Each structure stands twice: as structure tokens, then as C-alpha cells.
């Protein structure tokens, strides 16, 4: 394969199109981080494809100087599946939102994950429908007042982490638009993972759902409300990391390290531990609730499992080995023929 002559820079991934998101939208930061990370991945630009559905986030491909397709609502995952099945050497990125991926595209999402195509799925979660101007989404919390739910949403929301793990995703991570360093790191890790990598990105929609995640992003609350997990490290959070999480059987408990509790028997994160990942995915309490657990960020889980496209192509190779490369004339002739002279 041809190698790149000159190293690429973030600039090489910027298109000549005006970016049309609302000023202050969290999407800008995500775009920037993706453009910053891509040159470091060593993938020729022409081998990268961004596929999106419909929604604010789904305009993303137009701003990436790669191959791209802005498809239809909810179906980017399905489009990407066909592309990856036939062109496994491409680096395929799916950009979707909470409505696009979990509402209209919910079915394709779970099937993508169980098949484990080697793609990166970025879910820009802003807990609202932005493009259609502010209706509640499948990720909006109960009671959310929006244009379509003036008395509060009575939809119980999806928990994206639990949904992904329930569909046997082989990689799930959470990050946020306001933490560029963390987001870049997660993007790199998601790309390195072979299989479907889900990256849920908390993204502020400053027009229709401003501040939905501010407890996780603002200085005053961030330390208490967020839990950054890293394999091999104990689960610590709070001012000066003064709190930890301990597992009591299968029940997580917050321990106050300033009151003499030992830091030695804290939960040590292991992204390969499925049971612990399941428990972690349930750290999903409403931050307004008393005694709630902090919200985890980082890689919850990853495992190695065969990818659909590899198995598909292996079957083709096996078939060729067993039967020889297809002979069209023999196929057209079939088994029983007769002649009329």
C-alpha cells in the first residue's frame, strides 16, 4: 500500500464548507477534536469515511475532508455496515445523535453492535431533538419540559451504556464536548479497538437544552459529579479525589477517604470485566437525587470478538478453497442439460 508522502495535519481535514451549527454548540468542539486526532492515526485520508444519519450532528461529514455520506434518519449504522462488509480496509466512522441512533435508528444500532463491525460510532448525546427545534429525545430525562412535552416527558429514557452493553457491544466509552483532552484520548482508543466502538459524547445544545450536562462540566460540581475511570486505577472522585467507590458484593458504595476509610479495597477499574462494566453502566442516577452515584466517563468496557466483515470474508475464502473460484459457465450450465439439434 502507498504511504502518505507528507504527514497530515488537522487542517487537512477541514473542508471548504461553512460550518453551520449554532454558535456555541458543543458540536464544534467535537469536530475540532476529531480533526486533531485523525492525523495521528496514520490512516491515509482517502481511506477514511464518515457516515451520518439526520440531525444536527449528522452534518458532520460535510465538514470533514474525507469521504463522507450524509444518509437518512437513523440508518447511518446500516449504511456503514454494508460499506464495511465490502471494504474492510476502510476506516469507517459513524456520526449520530441520541435521537438518530436510539430512536429512529434503534434497531440498526443494536444489530450493528451484535455483529461487531469494526467501526467507530460517535453518539453526540444532547438529550434533545435540536434540528427539529426542541422536542424531547429518547435520552431526555423523565419530566423534561419541551415543546412536545409541555407537562413533562413521560418517556423513560434510554441509558446508552446499558443499551450498548445489553446489545453485546465490544467497546463502550463516554466522554464530553467540554473535555477536549479526554475526548481526544477516547477517540484514539476507540479507533484502536477492533470492533464496533461506541463513544457516547455529552454534547451541549445551547439553543434547546442548554446546560443539560453542566453538573458534569462546570467547575463547581464537576469533581463531585464525575468519575473518570481508567483500567488499573481505583474509582476515585471528589475534591482532591477524596471519595472512592467500593464494591459490596455487586452493590457499589461511596466511601469517604477523609474519614479514615482505606483506599486499598476500592474498586479497581478493569475495562475487560463485563460484570463490573454492567454495574458501572448503572451509575445513571439523576444528579438531583440524594445519595446518587457520580457519572462515569472513560472506557467502561472492551472485549475482543470476531468482526462480521472478517467472518464474511473468511467464508468467501473458505468457499473458494473448497470449491475453487466460481466458474460462470459451469454455473449457467447447471447439473442437468440436454441438447436439441
Partner 1 sequence: MSTTLETKKNVAIMFAGDSGDGIQLTGTQFTDTAALLGNDISTFPNFPAEIRAPQGTLAGVSGYQLHFGSVEIFTPGDGCDVLVVMNAAALKANLKGLHTGGIIIANTDGFDIKNLKLAKYPDGVNPLKDGSLEKFKVYEIDVTKMTRTALADSGMGTKEIDRSKNMFVLGFIYWMYNRDMSNSIAFLQEKFKKRPDLIEANLKVLKAGYNYGETTETFNARYEVKAAKMQKGEYRNIMGNQAAALGLIAAANKSNLSLFYGTYPITPASDILHELAKYKNFGIRTFQAEDEIAAVCSTIGASFGGSLGVTASSGPGIALKGEAIGLATMLEIPLVICNIQRGGPSTGLPTKTEQADLLQAMYGRNGEGPVAIISASTPSDCFDTAYEACRIAVEHMTPVFFLSDGYIANGSEPWIFPSAKDLKPIKVDYAKARNPEDAKFLPYKRDEKLVRPWAIPGTKGLEHRVGGIEKENETGNISYDPDNHELMVNLRAQKIERIADYIPLQQIDNGPAKGKLLILGWGSTYGSIKTAVIEALSEGYEVAHAHVRYLNPFPKNLGQILSNYDTVLMPEINSGQLIKMVRDKYLIPAIGFNKVKGMPFTSTEIKNKIVELLK
Q: Which residues bind partner 1 (CB under 8 A)?
A: 2, 15, 17, 44-49, 51, 54, 61-62, 64-72, 75, 78-87, 89-90, 107-108, 111, 312, 315-316, 318-320, 322-326, 328-329, 331-334, 336-341
Residue in 223, 275, 225 with CA at minimum distance from that of residue 249: 275
Grid coordinates of 9? 495535519
Which of the 8 DSSP states describes residue 158? P
Query: What is the distance between the terminal CA atoms of the chain, rounded to a whole angstrom?
Result: 54
**Contact set for ligand SF4, span 146-205 (CB under 6 A):** 205
- Give 105 or 160: the residue with its C-beta nearer to partner 1: 105
Question: Taking CB within 5 to 8 Å according to partner kind, which of partner 1, ligand SF4, none is near residue 199?
Answer: none
Question: Cα–Cα distance between 49 and 203 in angstroms, integer?
Answer: 22
How far CA 140 is from CA of 25, 134, 137, 155, 310, in Å, comes to 18, 11, 5, 8, 37
When asked if residue 207 is in the footprint of ligand SF4 (CB under 6 A), the reply is yes
What is the smallest separation between the CB atom of 27 and ligand SF4, expressed in angstroms? Answer: 5
The sign of the CA dihedral 141, 276, 115, 176 is positive
What is the smallest separation between the CB atom of 31 and ligand SF4, expressed in angstroms? Answer: 11
Angle between helices 27-37 and 180-192 in degrees, nearest 10: 50
When asked if residue 27 is in the footprint of ligand SF4 (CB under 6 A), the reply is yes
- Give 79 or 173: the residue with its C-beta nearer to partner 1: 79
What is the smallest separation between the CB atom of 161 and partner 1, expressed in angstroms? Answer: 22
When asked if residue 127 is in the footprint of ligand SF4 (CB under 6 A), the reply is no
When asked if residue 19 is in the footprint of ligand SF4 (CB under 6 A), the reply is no
When asked if residue 21 is in the footprint of ligand SF4 (CB under 6 A), the reply is yes
Within 10 angstroms of residue 138's Cβ, the number of other Cβ atoms is: 20
Question: Taking CB within 5 to 8 Å according to partner kind, which of ligand SF4, partner 1, none is near residue 259?
Answer: none
Contact (CB, 8 A) for 196 and 169: yes
Which residues here bind ligand SF4, judged by CB under 6 A?
21-22, 25, 27, 56, 126, 130, 205-208
Amino acid at each position: 500500500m502507498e504511504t502518505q508522502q507528507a504527514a497530515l495535519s488537522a487542517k487537512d481535514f477541514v473542508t471548504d464548507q461553512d460550518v453551520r451549527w449554532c454558535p456555541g454548540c458543543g458540536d464544534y468542539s467535537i469536530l475540532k477534536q476529531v480533526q486533531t486526532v485523525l492525523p495521528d492515526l496514520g490512516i491515509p485520508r482517502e481511506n477514511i469515511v464518515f457516515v451520518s444519519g439526520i440531525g444536527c450532528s449528522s452534518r458532520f461529514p460535510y465538514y470533514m475532508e474525507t469521504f463522507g455520506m450524509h444518509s437518512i434518519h437513523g440508518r447511518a449504522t446500516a449504511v456503514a455496515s454494508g460499506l464495511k462488509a465490502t471494504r474492510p480496509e476502510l476506516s469507517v466512522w459513524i456520526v449520530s445523535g441520541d435521537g438518530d441512533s436510539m430512536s429512529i435508528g434503534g434497531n440498526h444500532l443494536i444489530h450493528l453492535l451484535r455483529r461487531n463491525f469494526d467501526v467507530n460510532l460517535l453518539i453526540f448525546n444532547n438529550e434533545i431533538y435540536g434540528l427539529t427545534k426542541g422536542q424531547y429525545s429518547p435520552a431526555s430525562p423523565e419530566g423534561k419540559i419541551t415543546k412536545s412535552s409541555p407537562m413533562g416527558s413521560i418517556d423513560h429514557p434510554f441509558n446508552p451504556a446499558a443499551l450498548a452493553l445489553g446489545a453485546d457491544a465490544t467497546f463502550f466509552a463516554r466522554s464530553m464536548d467540554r473535555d477536549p483532552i479526554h475526548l481526544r484520548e477516547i477517540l484514539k482508543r476507540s479507533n484502536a479497538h477492533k470492533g464496533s466502538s461506541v463513544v457516547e459524547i455529552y454534547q451541549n445544545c445551547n439553543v434547546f437544552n442548554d446546560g443539560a450536562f453542566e453538573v458534569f462540566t462546570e467547575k463547581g460540581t464537576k469533581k463531585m459529579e464525575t468519575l473518570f475511570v481508567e483500567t488499573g486505577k481505583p474509582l476515585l472522585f471528589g475534591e482532591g479525589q477524596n471519595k472512592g467507590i467500593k464494591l459490596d458484593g455487586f452493590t457499589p458504595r461511596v466511601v469517604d477517604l477523609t474519614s479514615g476509610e482505606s483506599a486499598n479495597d476500592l474498586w479497581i477499574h478493569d475495562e475487560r470485566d463485563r460484570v463490573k462494566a454492567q454495574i458501572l453502566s448503572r451509575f445513571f442516577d439523576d444528579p438531583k437525587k440524594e445519595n446518587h452515584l457520580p457519572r462515569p466517563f472513560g472506557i467502561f468496557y472492551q472485549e475482543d470478538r470476531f468482526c462480521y466483515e472478517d467472518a464474511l470474508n473468511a467464508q468467501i475464502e473458505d468457499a473458494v478453497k473448497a470449491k475453487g473460484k466460481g466458474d460462470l459457465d459451469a454455473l449457467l450450465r447447471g447439473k442437468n442439460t440436454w441438447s436439441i439439434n
